[in-house]
């Protein structure tokens, strides 16, 4: 039979484990983004987690929730291509210039028809 101290210790451990799991909710592995006439984009979300460790680098412009990009564009809080031009391409080009691994730097690198 467990004593009160042991029960309290187990509850604290469980609470911590749940808090860590919630804090590390990193969304889907890949996200399909509406890409307009050029075709949709399969965004490797978890690959970006390994490289861009601060979620706010990208999520400063839109919330961390499904459909946030499209909803923000529709609401007028994001302009079309704003994130791509000011965040994605800027980062990819800077990494390329620095000689680091980088993502696509042209439209056809992301859009799939």
CATH for 91:
3.90.10.10
Residue 26: its pLDDT value, please? Answer: 75
Which pLDDT score, from 0 to 100, does residue 31 have?
93
Our count of domains for the chain comes to: 1
Residue with the bigger pLDDT between 25 and 45: it is 45
Is 18's pLDDT higher than 90?
Answer: no
Stretch 64-68: mean pLDDT = 91
75 within domain boundaries: yes
Mean pLDDT of the chain: 82
Return the structure tokens found at 105.
């730097």
**pLDDT at 50 (0 to 100):** 87
Find out whether 56 and 62 touch, Cβ atoms under 8 Å: no
User: What residues contact 93, with CB distance under 8 A and at least 6 apart?
Assistant: 102, 105
Q: Is residue 17 part of a domain?
A: no
- Determine, yes or no, domain membership for 13: no
pLDDT above 70 as % of the chain: 78
What element of type H or E holds 7? helix 4-23
Residue 27 has pLDDT above 60, yes or no: yes
- According to the 3-state scheme, what is the secondary structure of 31-92? EEECCHHHCEEEECHHHHHHHCCCCHHHHCCCCCCCCHHHHHHHHCCCCCCHHHHHHHHHHH
> Is there a domain that residue 74 lies in?
yes
- What is Dmax (Cα atoms) for the chain? 66
């Amino acid at each position: 039979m467990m004593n009160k101290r042991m029960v309290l210790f187990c509850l604290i451990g469980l609470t911590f484990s749940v808090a860590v799991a919630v804090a590390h909710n990193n969304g889907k592995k890949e996200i399909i983004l509406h890409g307009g006439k050029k075709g949709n984009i399969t965004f490797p979300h978890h690959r970006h987690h390994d490289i861009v460790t601060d979620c706010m680098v990208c999520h400063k412009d839109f919330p961390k929730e499904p459909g946030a990009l499209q909803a923000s564009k529709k609401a007028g809080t994001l302009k079309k291509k704003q994130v791509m031009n000011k965040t994605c391409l800027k980062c990819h080009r800077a990494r390329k210039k620095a000689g680091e691994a980088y993502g696509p730097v042209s439209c056809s690198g992301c859009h799939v028809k």
